[in-house]
Amino acid sequence: MKLHSFFRSSAAYRVRLALEIKGLAYETVAHHLRKGEQRKPEYRVLNPQGLVPTLEDAGHVLTQSLAIIEYLEETHPDPPLLPPDFHGRAIVRSMALGVACDIHPLQNSRVLGYLRGPLAQADGPVADWVRHWIGLGFRSLEELARRYGDGTHYLYGDDVSMADLCLAPQMYNARRYHLDLKPYPALVAIDAHLMTLPAFATTRPEAQPDAE
Ligand X SMILES: N[C@@H](CCC(=O)N[C@@H](CS)C(=O)NCC(=O)O)C(=O)O
Strand, helix or coil at 46? coil
Which residues share a beta bridge with 29? Answer: 4
Q: How far is the CB of 41 from ligand X (least distance, A)?
A: 15
With contacts defined by CB under 6 A, name the span among 5-13, 120-128, 132-140, 202-210 that binds ligand X: 5-13
Cα–Cα distance for residue pair 14/68, rounded to 1 Å: 10
- Specify the residue, 107 or 142, whose C-beta has the smaller distance to ligand X: 107
Site mask for ligand X (CB under 6 A), range 13-52, x = bound: --------------------x----x------------xx
CA nearest neighbour of 203 among 53, 70, 18: 18
Q: Least distance (Å) from ligand X to the CB of residue 196?
A: 24
Amino acid identity, residue 161? S
Give the count of residues interacting with ligand X (CB under 6 A). 15
Does residue 100 belong to the site contacting ligand X (CB under 6 A)?
yes
Question: CB atoms < 10 A from the CB of 174, how many?
Answer: 24
Would you count residue 65 as binding ligand X (CB under 6 A)?
yes
Q: Which residues bind ligand X (CB under 6 A)?
A: 9-11, 33, 38, 51-53, 64-66, 100, 108-110
